[in-house]
Chain A
Amino acid sequence: MANRPELLAPPEIFYDETEARKYTSSSRIVDIQAKLSERALELLALPEDGVPRFLLDIGCGSGLSGETISESGHHWLGLDISASMLNVAVEREVEGDLLLGDMGQGLGLRPGVIDGAISISAVQWLCNADKSSHEPRLRLKAFFGSLYRCLSRGARAVFQVYPENIKQRELILRQALQAGFGGGLVVDYPHSTKKRKEFLVLTCGSVQTSIQTGKSDCDEGCSEDDSSEDEESGMVSMSDRNRPKKRQKSSNKKGKSREWILRKKEQSRRKGNDVPADSKYTGRKRKSRF
């Protein structure tokens, strides 16, 4: 993406009357949105028993993704922060219910009522602080926390996201896991910069049974499922039993080692706290002149 809309203005201001109309009248965007929502629904893996489900569409905009949900026979509830986008949705007579709301403020839905949630190109907006009161980490936390509560057991949530960089991706994923979700990232067409699409697939309260693989142009499964929660390094510490006790004591006195500090920082990071980045200076001793 050459220019990212979330860097230009907050969503409720960027998607004004003209932008909302432009968005919905562009056949290219409509086509892309339909494809993305179809894929998201596929990843949602709803049971195929013919019973319609009640789904949540977060950042529904003008209801382009909602239309795909309606076509597959499900009912939906859409949430968006842009009133202009929702007005276009009303004009287009979408079948779902619409709510004007800010996902960063939490969803405000009763626990356990939603059968699944999708979101197309919306969650990355949460990574920006548009007001002085906004703190991306807390807004993501409020969003994922409230989403986890309102989903029923075993339900899934699929988010198509455009994270700006690795840090944003990590921030989103970490907050999702923090809220109690399981799951990870599914990448479609990982080797193409244009077609590459990332889907965050989260499960609520049950173990993931099937393994999703990203779509790919090559026939062999050259997809990658880079769920970073697997990266927890399985470090095993070795200690010599026969070492005399005295020597052990003296080595402990040296103070906190770099490894210890890194481990503690990682622990704190997993809790979702803000932790300074690791560098070559981490755990170094100050020079005596300080």
Chain B
Amino acid sequence: MRLITHNMLSCNIKGVTNGFPLRIEAGNVIKKEVDFNPDFIRHMFAKLEWKALVEGARSMGYAELPEDSPDAAVLESDESFLKKLHHALLELHLEEGALVCPETGRKFPVNKGIPNMLLHEDEV
């Protein structure tokens, strides 16, 4: 699972109002290279929750992203920043570990890079 997905996933248990962001418990993180496409990064930037991304990246051992959300102007000009964002979003994979719901503390295990988001019957 990559951080781009983590940035969209929220806890889906019935009655949970604040299921985002899921806390990452990283076990094994691997890196896979992906072609860099600045247009896609710019397109996705508007949809990102910056704080969740920074926290997620930190818990996966990548601390190069700035704390505060950068301006749109930086996106246009700063190639090195875009590359960092690209690396965080698309190249870091959480292979083993868990996602933890911030409200209920329910753990969603991640095996072979696949988070198990199946809910029990009493959670639907």
Q: Bound complex: CA of A252 vs CA of B93, how far in Å? A: 70
B44 shortest CB reach to chain A, Å: 6
Residue of B nearest to A81 (CB): B118
List residues of chain B with CB within 8 A of the CB of A146. Answer: 12
Q: Bound complex: CA of A133 vs CA of B47, how far in Å? A: 35
Q: Bound complex: CA of A105 vs CA of B16, how far in Å? A: 14
Residue of A nearest to B124 (CB): A105
Q: Bound complex: CA of A118 vs CA of B113, how far in Å? A: 22
B10 and A131 form a contact (CB under 8 A): no
Q: Which of B35-43, B54-62, B66-74 contacts A (4 or more CB under 8 A)?
A: B35-43
B102: CB under 8 A from chain A?
A: no
B8 and A113 form a contact (CB under 8 A): yes
B1-59 CB contacts (< 8 Å) to partner A: 1-2, 4-5, 7-12, 19-20, 34, 37, 39-40, 43-44, 47, 49
Q: Bound complex: CA of A102 vs CA of B10, how far in Å? A: 14
Interface of B is mostly: loop
Option from B40, B43, B117, B121 in Cβ contact (under 8 Å) with A101: B117
Option from A87, A99, A108, A150 in Cβ contact (under 8 Å) with B11: A108
List residues of chain B with CB within 8 A of the CB of A100. Answer: 114-118
Q: Bound complex: CA of A30 vs CA of B2, how far in Å? A: 27
B119: CB under 8 A from chain A?
A: yes
B112: CB under 8 A from chain A?
A: yes
- Asked if A109 meets B9 with Cβ closer than 8 Å, knowing A51-B43, A90-B114, the reply is yes
A147-173 Cβ-contact flags toward B at 8 Å (1 or 0): 000101000000000000000000000
Q: Bound complex: CA of A90 vs CA of B33, how far in Å? A: 16
